[in-house]
Structure 1
Amino acid sequence: MAVDAAVIGLGYVGLPLAQAATRAGLSVLGFDIDERVVASLNAGRSHVDDLSSADVADMRDRGFRATTDPAELREAGTLVISVPTPLSPDGGPDLSAVNAAVSTVAAQLRPGMLVILESTTYPGTTDEVVRPVLEAGGLTAGTDFHLAFSPERIDPGNPSFGATNTPKVVGGHTPGCTEAAASFYGKFVDTIVRTKGTREAEMAKLLENTYRHINIALVNEMARFCHDLDIDLWDVINAAKSKPFGFQAFYPGPGVGGHCIPIDPNYLSHNVRARLGYPFRFVELAQEINATMPSYIVRRAQDALNEDAKSLRGSTVLLLGVTYKPDIADERESPAVPLARQLISHGAAVQFHDPKVSEWRGLSEHATRVEDPAAAAAAADLTILVQNHREYDVDALAGGAQRFFDTRGVVTEGERIERL
């Protein structure tokens, strides 16, 4: 049976996209190689934060279905690839999932189809990596089928912006490809932003996240010397953001995490070095600053314990919140991981609490989960707020702790409280 669109990759990006298209009345097929994900979705159960099981059940009732059978993709008019692109060991993008998805699409490609890549990558990927594989069967992009790039802009946990009201950037291999992609997204996205081509659309995503990466690094470095100068950076930022133009507030923290900020700018830096032979110094410096924030937090933790005549070795340290952002269960690239590992390497006994995480992947054997954060904070030598979930009454937790280190600038100042 023909379907309007098939979404390849049903994670944090693909599933909200499929939901938006389904709600707009399109017939949508989901494709994923994970049989458990497919079975769960077909049973009406969600595996991502932004969609509840009720949302998935509603999608199913509207005709959405998931499959692991690539042959079913041939019935779709539009194929959207939204698979992960993590970093490879050399610092560039790992395109193995993209390559696998493109090969799957190529085997099912037919005249008249629209193929869109949404996975974040370096400029040139759509034209140099995707297009040759799709054209190897004899069809030509821009003539026999349409090809475009549209960067994903999903912000997990954002209550204000989702797939429908976040403007969609689209860039096609030809102007006709751009219009085909714009027409598709225009059925369920409020605003479409066209670029000159695929490279401009690919670069737009990297610019967005490089901008954030560099500005976060700026305030992280300021946090260090403001502490040494006895200046309250949080108060400084609050004052600066009162200016109605020319300033956007960014905030320091224990590091950066998630699927974008720690990864995407490195695609650009790696591509600049590989193609042009010189460094993208802003990105590389920002990466250095942000990557060393967990080490800085450990040094501050040592100083805080010294105030109580304690050493880090042998002390119990409680980490509150181990996801990469508040109010979601996503642990990808969370700075809590290197922070915990460094604390452990210094001899600390690490405990953690997170209302979103029952088992901390990769650290479950080294960090003990506590059920009652208030009781654990009262017993621990040091409590570190790493991520401020809405479930936390932070002032109460800080008030009952032996010593409390706030890396998010949310605790009311007081004795035995340290702030980044």
Structure 2
Amino acid sequence: MITAVTQEEDEQIDNARYSLQSALRKRIMNKTAKVGVIGLGYVGLPTACHYACKGYKVTGFDVSETKVQSLNKGINYINDVDNDELTQFINQNRFTATTDMKQLGEMDVLLICVPTPVNKLKEPDISYVKDVGEIVAEHVKEGTMVILESTTYPGTTEEYICTPLTVRGYVLGESLFVAYSPERIDPGNKKFNLSNTPKVVGGITETCTDLACMFIGKTAQRVNGIRVAELSKIFENTFRWINMALVNEMTVLCKELEIDIWETIDAASSKPYGFMKFTPGIGVGGHCIPVDPYYLLYKAKEHGHRTKMIELAGDINDGMVHYSYMRILELLASKDKLMKHSHVVVLGAAYKSNIGDLRESPVVRLLERLQNKVQKLTVIEPYAKEIRINEQIQLVAEYDVAILQKADLVVIGTPHTCFDWKSVHDHASLIFDSKNVLEESGLQSDKIAKL
């Protein structure tokens, strides 16, 4: 009799589990699943619009009342999001934003897109993920799928997303589904976006992986386990970080050897296999590449290992700001100019071309070095209204040939395509071209100095 009751209970439990999975699959297939995106920044907002475009009803969650109010009025603050498309989603009730975390309990799929920065000591700051994990566990309902997209070290999803859920009694893979799928958004990239970039997906169980791949769709790239997915993103960017360090180190060496690094790179790039082109710069910026390697470094130290190559790459890449500063001193001295008596103009301060993202920008770090050393510092950044330099707000100037004509040195920091390089060449008396854009534009003269 006891056995019969136990079997019956087991069958009921199995049926309930299957029912939760089946219901979620059905809602994903017919696009009736309610999708929540937590964090509406450079990753979260484009992600929310991507799934709204696919036909889902999306709710964006953010702690910033200002962001939420702006978005609900159709005011966009992310370059990669189309203003008209966002307004259309809002008018059609396919996207809305809120600060009310209780509404998380109404969602069928939750995508976590919160920041994972490093602190001043270059140690991972997982506080945003940790806080969201607790909030999700408090409000989520049975049958929901939770996907963490924030870049982080292996083990984060299990520790900060899974643990709070299991503590509350959820059985992962049965009553709740958890996966990790790292974001691969490249701000300003017109060729690759969320619709055509493969997306690595790893679930806490096979069922979780199946459901996450089904939701993400044709771009899903299934991997065996959640930690593989977590490590893959850090490995991608560490690969680039190390190769950037190599080319930056070669740049410094080439200066001493009086060899043109740019011509050297082009020559090496002629090989049709086995070589990947990287170019030097003032440093490495952005929300991923100068951050992610330190997550791997941190995790390695936790297990008693040193990642010497990552540490060395960090030293080299960070050192390019100082190297660029010394080159500026050298160039001014070649014209018998002291820095404290000079007017320096910097063209572009964002971390990459054609966007206004200043996060971790090496040009901003260079500006911090220059700010109190030069007589006058002018920044021309068409994608930003102001820049914070040494905790001070500096307004940016509009492009004006008169400014260039009065400058002792023009530094090309970030080569936005909106700049007229012939005009820059014709009106500046001395140019420090950190990205070799003038030569690539067919402009050569003695007043141009390369990195």
TM band (smaller chain): over 0.9
1:382 aligns to 2:409 (yes or no): yes
Equivalent residue for 1:257? 285
Structure 1 residue 363 displacement after superposition: 5.3
- SS of the counterpart of 2:358? coil
Equivalent residue for 2:193? 162
Equivalent residue for 2:12? none
Residue deviations 1:123-147 (CA, integer Å, cap 9, x gap): 1101122211121211121221111
- SS of the counterpart of 2:110? strand
2:253 alignment partner, one of 214, 220, 225: 225
Q: In the alignment, residue 123 of structure 2 is paired with which amino acid?
A: G
Equivalent residue for 2:183? 152
2:75 alignment partner, one of 45, 50, 55: 45
Equivalent residue for 1:419? 450
1:22 aligns to 2:52 (yes or no): yes
| Residues 214 and 286, structure 1, Cα contact 8 Å, conserved in 2 | yes
| Residues 3 and 75, structure 1, Cα contact 8 Å, conserved in 2 | no
- SS of the counterpart of 1:323? coil
Structure 1 residue 242 displacement after superposition: 2.2
Deviates more, 1:346-355 or 1:311-320: 346-355
1:369 aligns to 2:399 (yes or no): no
- SS of the counterpart of 1:292? helix
Equivalent residue for 1:100? 131
Q: In the alignment, residue 10 of structure 1 is paired with which amino acid?
A: L
- 2: CA distance between counterparts of 1:226 and 1:362? 31
- 2: CA distance between counterparts of 1:131 and 1:364? 38
1:408 alignment partner, one of 399, 420, 435: 435
Structure 1 residue 212 displacement after superposition: 0.6
| Residues 324 and 387, structure 1, Cα contact 8 Å, conserved in 2 | yes
Structure 1 residue 340 displacement after superposition: 1.0
2:86 alignment partner, one of 51, 56, 74: 56
Residue deviations 1:322-345 (CA, integer Å, cap 9, x gap): 100111011101111210111234
Compared CA separation, residues 23 and 287, structure 1 to 2 (3 A): same
| Residues 182 and 233, structure 2, Cα contact 8 Å, conserved in 1 | yes
| Residues 129 and 160, structure 2, Cα contact 8 Å, conserved in 1 | no
1:120 aligns to 2:151 (yes or no): yes
2:379 alignment partner, one of 319, 334, 352: 352
Q: In the alignment, residue 331 of structure 1 is paired with which amino acid?
A: L
- SS of the counterpart of 2:305? coil
Unpaired segments ≥5 residues, structure 2: 1-31
| Residues 171 and 198, structure 1, Cα contact 8 Å, conserved in 2 | yes
Compared CA separation, residues 46 and 341, structure 1 to 2 (3 A): same
- 1: CA distance between counterparts of 2:136 and 2:248? 43
Structure 1 residue 372 displacement after superposition: 3.0
2:237 alignment partner, one of 209, 232, 238: 209
Compared CA separation, residues 91 and 372, structure 1 to 2 (3 A): closer
1:137 alignment partner, one of 153, 160, 168: 168
| Residues 344 and 374, structure 2, Cα contact 8 Å, conserved in 1 | no
Structure 1 residue 239 displacement after superposition: 2.0
- SS of the counterpart of 1:284? helix
Structure 1 residue 316 displacement after superposition: 1.1
Deviates more, 1:133-142 or 1:265-274: 133-142
Structure 1 residue 348 displacement after superposition: 4.6
Larger radius of gyration: 2
Structure 1 residue 313 displacement after superposition: 2.1
Compared CA separation, residues 61 and 103, structure 1 to 2 (3 A): same
1:302 aligns to 2:302 (yes or no): no
Residue deviations 1:86-132 (CA, integer Å, cap 9, x gap): 10344221111111211111111221110010011111101122211
Matched residues, number: 415
Residue deviations 1:198-219 (CA, integer Å, cap 9, x gap): 1000000001000110111111
| Residues 57 and 95, structure 2, Cα contact 8 Å, conserved in 1 | yes
Residue deviations 1:19-64 (CA, integer Å, cap 9, x gap): 1111111111111111111111111111111113212102213421
- SS of the counterpart of 1:361? strand
Q: In the alignment, residue 246 of structure 2 is paired with which amino acid?
A: L
Residue deviations 1:205-240 (CA, integer Å, cap 9, x gap): 001000110111111111111122121111121222
Structure 1 residue 368 displacement after superposition: 5.8
- Cα RMSD after superposing both structures: 1.5
- 1: CA distance between counterparts of 2:421 and 2:326? 22
| Residues 345 and 411, structure 2, Cα contact 8 Å, conserved in 1 | yes
- 2: CA distance between counterparts of 1:77 and 1:318? 52
Equivalent residue for 2:296? 268
- 2: CA distance between counterparts of 1:73 and 1:123? 26
- 2: CA distance between counterparts of 1:70 and 1:367? 36
Equivalent residue for 2:22? none
| Residues 44 and 56, structure 1, Cα contact 8 Å, conserved in 2 | yes
Share of identical aligned residues, percent?
Answer: 42
- SS of the counterpart of 1:207? helix
- 2: CA distance between counterparts of 1:178 and 1:155? 24
- SS of the counterpart of 2:437? coil
| Structure with the bigger percentage of helix | 2
Equivalent residue for 2:348? 321
Structure 1 residue 367 displacement after superposition: 4.9
Compared CA separation, residues 294 and 177, structure 1 to 2 (3 A): same
- 2: CA distance between counterparts of 1:389 and 1:347? 24
Q: In the alignment, residue 352 of structure 2 is paired with which amino acid?
A: K
Residue deviations 1:263-301 (CA, integer Å, cap 9, x gap): 0001101110122x2310111111001101111011111
- 1: CA distance between counterparts of 2:232 and 2:257? 38
Equivalent residue for 1:84? 115
| Residues 320 and 352, structure 1, Cα contact 8 Å, conserved in 2 | yes
- SS of the counterpart of 2:382? coil
